[in-house]
């Protein structure tokens, strides 16, 4: 029999993830501060809770999908939060992208109450959240992971336990560093080509099958060529991830200088009011420096 699942956080990622669980036949009870999102899940077949406590009391497994570490701490550890009302043996699957340091702190408090926390952030953005093909990277107790693995695979095409609690978010930070640096490298290269009078679309088609080809290139270059900077994955969220990466790196004396450079590019775009744009807007920084735009002819 499927466990009753609670889902807290029905934003751009959480809402389609929750819908996929309903489609898969899970009995879902949901909560979000945005009434319209809750209503949409009700219409899809979920049960609405009036509070976080309502979710915690009803569910055996609770998924959280929230913006950052303070939000997860408040929802799980705060007054009238999940931990205050969860049954012993409850598994919390935090799928937010937060600091691994925070994940370990929250997990330690949960353990005192007989509750297990897994950190299980995702990669793939809204499109993969919608079609249920996210990459899920989890940290925590192996037995708890095995209990929720089938559920995770209704939201993602892969779910890998990478280590102890916190390891999922370390893995996600590594992912976000690679994505940011890939977009920056793509931007530099395509502005260089355009400035030299070479059609960037032809450059893209020439290199995408070679060693420079990547999932990032195929996802972001067509958007740039169309002048499409709509999220997707917002710059302000990538700034959050890179700040967590920098904090995590500094805590273990692991230098990440290229990440710091891309972080400053994103901070510059934020200062110009572009924080809501997709992270492919990194190219706008290079375009302004070179005085060209990388677009289809």
Cα–Cα dist 145/252, whole Å: 27
DSSP 218-278: HHHHHHHHTT----SSBHHHHHHHHHHHHHHHHHTT---HHHHHHHHHHHHHHHTT-TTSB
Cα–Cα dist 19/45, whole Å: 9
Distance of CA 201 to the CA centre of its chain: 29
> Of residues 15, 19, 128, 172, which has the active-site annotation?
172
Distance of CA 109 to the CA centre of its chain: 24
* β pairing state of 156-163 and 134-139: parallel
Cα–Cα dist 86/59, whole Å: 8
Residue 220 appears among annotated catalytic residues? no
Catalytic (active-site) positions = 172
């Amino acid at each position: 029999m499927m466990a009753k699942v609670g889902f807290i956080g029905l934003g751009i990622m959480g809402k389609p993830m929750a819908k996929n669980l309903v489609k898969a036949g899970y009995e879902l009870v949901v909560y979000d501060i945005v009434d319209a999102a809750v209503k949409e899940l009700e219409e899809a077949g979920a049960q609405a809770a009036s509070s976080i406590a309502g979710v915690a009391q009803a569910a055996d497994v609770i998924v959280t999908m929230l913006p950052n570490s303070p939000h997860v701490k408040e929802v799980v550890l705060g007054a009238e939060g999940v931990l205050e009302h969860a049954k012993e043996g409850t598994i919390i699957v935090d799928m937010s992208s937060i600091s691994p340091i925070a994940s370990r702190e929250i997990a330690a408090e949960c353990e005192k109450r007989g509750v297990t926390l897994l950190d299980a952030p995702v990669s793939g953005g809204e499109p993969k959240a919608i079609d249920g093909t996210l990459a899920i990277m989890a940290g925590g107790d192996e037995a708890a992971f095995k209990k929720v693995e089938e559920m995770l695979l209704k939201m993602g095409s892969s779910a890998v336990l990478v280590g102890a609690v916190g390891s999922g978010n370390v893995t996600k930070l590594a992912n976000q560093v690679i994505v940011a640096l890939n977009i920056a490298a793509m931007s530099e290269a395509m502005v260089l080509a355009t400035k030299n009078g070479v059609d960037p679309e032809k450059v893209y088609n020439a290199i995408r099958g070679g060693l420079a080809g990547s999932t990032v290139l195929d996802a972001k270059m067509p958007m740039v060529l169309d002048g499409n900077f709509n999220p997707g994955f917002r710059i302000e969220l990538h700034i959050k991830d890179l700040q967590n990466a920098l904090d995590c790196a500094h805590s273990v004396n692991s230098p990440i200088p290229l990440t710091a450079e891309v972080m400053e590019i994103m901070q510059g775009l934020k200062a110009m009011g572009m924080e809501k744009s997709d992270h492919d807007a990194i190219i706008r920084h290079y375009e302004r420096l070179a005085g060209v735009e990388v677009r289809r002819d």
